[in-house]
Structure 1
Amino acid sequence: MGKREEIRQRDGTVFPGGIYVDCLLKPVFKEQRDHLFQAQFQIHRAHVLMLYDQGILSKREAGEILRGVEILAGMDPSQLRYDPRYEDLFFMVEGLLAEEIGEETAGNMHIARSRNDMGVAMYRMVLREQLLKLIRRVQDLREALLEVGEEHLETVMPAYTHTQPAQPTTLGHYLLAIHDVTERDTRRLWSAYQTVNQSPLGAAALTTTGFNICRESVRAFLGFDELVENSYDAVAGADYLLETAAALTLLMTDAGRWIQDLLQFCTREFNVLRVADPYVQISSIMPQKRNPVSVEHSRSLASSAIADAQAVCTMIHNTPFGDVVDTEDDLQPHLYRAIDKSKRVLDLMIAVISTMEVNQEEMRRRAGEGLITITELADTLVRERGLSFRRAHRITSRVARRAFREKRDRIQPEWLQEAAEEITGQGITFPEGKLIQICDPFRFIMVRRCSGGPHPQEVRRMLKDRKRRLDADRREWSQRSEAIRSAGEHLRVRVRQLISQNR
């Protein structure tokens, strides 16, 4: 038997072929069942009520359809299995509804509607819920960063540039910097949410409908903030997916950078952070090991989330501007997985950061090594000796090289004297006590009172401001969540009223 005949025997001669069922219809059915089941019934409710309000359906028809919808919505979706009689979950629901209330009545549920606008609406409804859950996790991480940062306003540590010790700062200043990046990630997620939470319903296939529908009432019933006004845009536009993917990519990329820092800080060589026992794993063969696996997994999951988010962009890239399967059931799970992995990363990091032990003595000792305060010597030469900064920099550079050669962490008066003579032709000296002050990491921090700097008072001011902004952000989250909940409750009340009136 040739390959052609073998395939024909396996797949048959009519749609859908067996291989199409196995490779596409069954996996798609499972994804739809697991993610879109309740969203589709919300859309059915809103659409039928709108048709009734517009006089397109009678009270009897609308009530009967909604009665059937409520029966089917009460099913346990996990019990549903792919049925070759139906192409997908939505045709299955339509078929089950026809069995419940009759084919003619059930068929009228789809007046002035297409799978196109309905499908996009479901994706948007599911995605907005996922985004709200993720934003809540990001807010919780920000709270943890601010809480721990406030405990370490005077915990001196070396800050790094190009992976090398650069200047002293504080752990509070460092954690606040992570917070501020994460706060901007929150804004990007809110921007994606605003783009997602727009209703495409009423666009039908792409040119709306000849029926006198009210798109605005369906939008309100479903808790969408706005309409995607242009009906072609409503089914063709995929930027709500791209913006979400971009926001996820930035969130996890930003997180991956400081997660890498945490992994380095909790190595035995650094010995400045200790991950709490619930989040470390002991080696199966080396009992002395404390493996920070929670942080490692977070780094790995963040990278995996980025990969899923980038898959979304790749799948949409160079697709035609219209209703295409590339933006539908094959793509959506990538976003679900990216969000799920991001939430797992955030949950782990909230726990790790909130419970980690900080070796403050070791941090301060490291901040006193390698003359990383020596910028203050150059600044002092400018302020008190009138040198140009570039000349002062050349002098301090020679002092730093001398300290490195001699493996000393204190500036010696003769080093400064000799370097100044070489650069300016005349010696410059400071009292030894002043040179000791210049080498003090804490004093280095205390003289940096500029806006945004590490001075404890300035960091405290920024923390207070960030807490206020976080509170405002949480209020926005509550308002948006309540808007969706309230719209859903209003929809349920209207449905119950119409069903009861029809009895």
Structure 2
Amino acid sequence: MAIRRHQQTEGTKFPGKTYVEAVLEPAYDQAKQELLLPMIEVHKAHLVMLLEQGLLTQDEANSIAKALIRIDLEQLSQGNYNGQFEDLFFEVEHKLLELSNDASGSLHLGRSRNDMGIAIYRITLRRKLLGTIGSALRLHASLLAFAKKHTGTIIIAHTHTQQAQPTTLAHYIAAVTDSLARDIRRLQAAYANCNLSSMGAAALTTSGFTISRERVAELLAFDGLIENAYDAVSGADYVAEIAAGVQLAAINLGRFTQELLLWCTQEFAVARVAAPYVQISSIMPQKRNPVSVEHIRSLLSSIAGSSQTVLTMLHNTPFGDIVDTEDDMQPYAWKSLDTLEVVYRLLSKVIDSLQINEDVLRQRAAASFATVTELADTLVREEGLSFRNAHKIVSRLVTQAVQQGDQINDLSLQSLNEAAIHTLGLPLRLSEKQLKLALDPEHFVNVRKVRGGPSPGEMKRALKAQQYRLNSLEQWLGEREAHLASASTKLNSILFDWQIK
């Protein structure tokens, strides 16, 4: 919530111009866009609880309910900071007093700006979390559909930025999707710790009135309470956990985005971004720049930066209610979530329309020495050699071929036997057919049937498991969104029923 140490009343001085410019006005603008609706929801839930606990009369509750229903939220959301009130909270409180003939003065019974502010922040963050998770799931679905189309598309995988072994595009993308799913689960965990109610903690010691913390939590669709009242208004790890999860998600996705940009270069010539997501050059007619992916990369870096700002601002602050964790810090968490949400959506669209040059990939795999691990494995199986000796033979074979300018198709049984004689002192029994099969990239992929490998059968199992995981995550999201919507509907229904009785 906004800075709460100063409320404009008759006789007080207008806040300093620099204070307004640096703190009060930005906080007001942010609050009217992000915190106004959650603030009203908290008012409504607290009002219902006060009546049910017998702390207000029905007439008092009706007057306050009418004011809450009649308050012009559109006007408030379009307003400008004018210094009459320190912040949006006091402006809303003033309008409610006017609309209720001062009856709403009892609405603050048994609560504080402290517990209320934390509840409003948590409501705001949980909504943004669900939105971000929803877009992450859309990207998950796009990647999964893409992988299913490319289970037979053989690529050369790289380690240390050098050609390593053949695999499939589906195998690579499934790895990206697994990483994304872990990011989603971290955001789920952050949601669980965020969606707890601070209401009823009041300033930090609860209240002497017989309020029901549990009822307010239920009305606001929180999953439970922050048990300790001091912790409720002092703990800020709920937002730090979100920031950490978002930061890691941005870093993880940035690594894939960087590779996607490399694939789009003419030198790699692997991927082609669809026309709606590229831009031309003002001077070079041939240019087809995949700038949407570039923007994704830079935005992911900005997300990591905004998240780090949250963690840095929290560092070395006192463990108590303090403004450092409020107006100045919260917007960085909002921005990181909002930006990650739209980046997930944008990348999903790019993946949906991405074109892959399968012919180039196939030719490169066939011309690469990346398959020779399987040749070493074949020598172990067929010749009974230790893998280290098999490795020495194949390493010598490839080294000599490269020195002579030979390609993988130039490797012969004779040159293999020469390497074996040099290493072991005797030739091999391997046939020409076995040699060619061992060097075939498709064979390389097909024999790697171990769990987590790229063989067609294993990829079919893995992608089926990913689809099941996606369905489960989508169900979780749907249940949470439905729960929040249902609670809001019920809360407003209670107040409406009061008006017609």
| TM-score interval (norm. to shorter) | over 0.9
For 2:74 and 2:368, how far apart are their aligned partners in 1? 68
Give the secondary structure class of the aligned counterpart of 1:166. Answer: strand
How far 1:13 sits from its partner (Å)? Answer: 9.4
2:306 is the alignment partner of 1:308: yes
Q: Does the CA contact (< 8 Å) of 2:115 and 2:232 recur in 1?
A: yes
Q: Does the CA contact (< 8 Å) of 2:383 and 2:430 recur in 1?
A: no
Cα deviation per residue 1:154-175 (whole Å; 9 max; x = unaligned)?
1010011011110000011111
The change in CA–CA distance for 1:485 and 1:416 in structure 2 (over 3 A counts) is same
User: Which residue matches 1:6?
Assistant: none
2:454 is the alignment partner of 1:448: no
Q: Does the CA contact (< 8 Å) of 1:38 and 1:73 recur in 2?
A: no
Q: Does the CA contact (< 8 Å) of 1:34 and 1:77 recur in 2?
A: no
How far 1:309 sits from its partner (Å)? Answer: 0.6
For 1:182 and 1:67, how far apart are their aligned partners in 2? 46
Cα deviation per residue 1:369-409 (whole Å; 9 max; x = unaligned)?
33100001111111111111111111111112122222311
How far 1:116 sits from its partner (Å)? Answer: 0.5
C-alpha RMSD over aligned residues: 1.4
User: Which residue matches 1:198?
Assistant: 196
Cα deviation per residue 1:311-362 (whole Å; 9 max; x = unaligned)?
0000001111011111101111101111121122111211111111111110
Runs of 4+ that moved beyond 6 A: none
User: Which residue matches 2:166?
Assistant: 168
For 2:74 and 2:302, how far apart are their aligned partners in 1? 34
- TM-score norm. by structure 2 comes to 0.95
Greater Cα offset, 38-47 or 399-408: 399-408
Greater Cα offset, 485-494 or 17-26: 17-26
Give the secondary structure class of the aligned counterpart of 2:369. Answer: coil
User: Which residue matches 1:69?
Assistant: 68
2:290 is the alignment partner of 1:278: no
User: Which residue matches 2:86?
Assistant: 87
User: Which residue matches 1:26?
Assistant: 25
* Partner AA of 2:297 in structure 1: R
How far 1:364 sits from its partner (Å)? Answer: 1.2
Q: Does the CA contact (< 8 Å) of 1:413 and 1:429 recur in 2?
A: no
How far 1:15 sits from its partner (Å)? Answer: 6.3
- Gap runs ≥5 in structure 2: 1-10
Matches of residues 342-353 of structure 1 in structure 2 within 5 Å? 342-353=340-351
- TM-score norm. by structure 1 comes to 0.95
Cα deviation per residue 1:261-300 (whole Å; 9 max; x = unaligned)?
1100110011111111111111110010110001100000
Matches of residues 213-292 of structure 1 in structure 2 within 5 Å? 213-292=211-290
How far 1:102 sits from its partner (Å)? Answer: 2.6
For 1:73 and 1:400, how far apart are their aligned partners in 2? 77
Greater Cα offset, 237-246 or 336-345: 336-345
Q: Does the CA contact (< 8 Å) of 2:264 and 2:273 recur in 1?
A: yes
How far 1:73 sits from its partner (Å)? Answer: 5.0
For 1:429 and 1:268, how far apart are their aligned partners in 2? 43
For 2:366 and 2:87, how far apart are their aligned partners in 1? 66
Q: Does the CA contact (< 8 Å) of 1:176 and 1:463 recur in 2?
A: yes
How far 1:424 sits from its partner (Å)? Answer: 1.2
For 1:40 and 1:436, how far apart are their aligned partners in 2? 71
For 1:445 and 1:401, how far apart are their aligned partners in 2? 24
For 1:146 and 1:403, how far apart are their aligned partners in 2? 40
For 2:74 and 2:58, how far apart are their aligned partners in 1? 25
User: Which residue matches 1:473?
Assistant: 473
Q: Does the CA contact (< 8 Å) of 1:416 and 1:429 recur in 2?
A: no
User: Which residue matches 1:128?
Assistant: 126
Name the % identity.
46
* Partner AA of 1:397 in structure 2: S
For 1:96 and 1:145, how far apart are their aligned partners in 2? 50
2:100 is the alignment partner of 1:101: yes
Give the secondary structure class of the aligned counterpart of 2:167. Answer: strand
For 1:163 and 1:76, how far apart are their aligned partners in 2? 57
Cα deviation per residue 1:177-217 (whole Å; 9 max; x = unaligned)?
11111111110010011111111100001110000000000
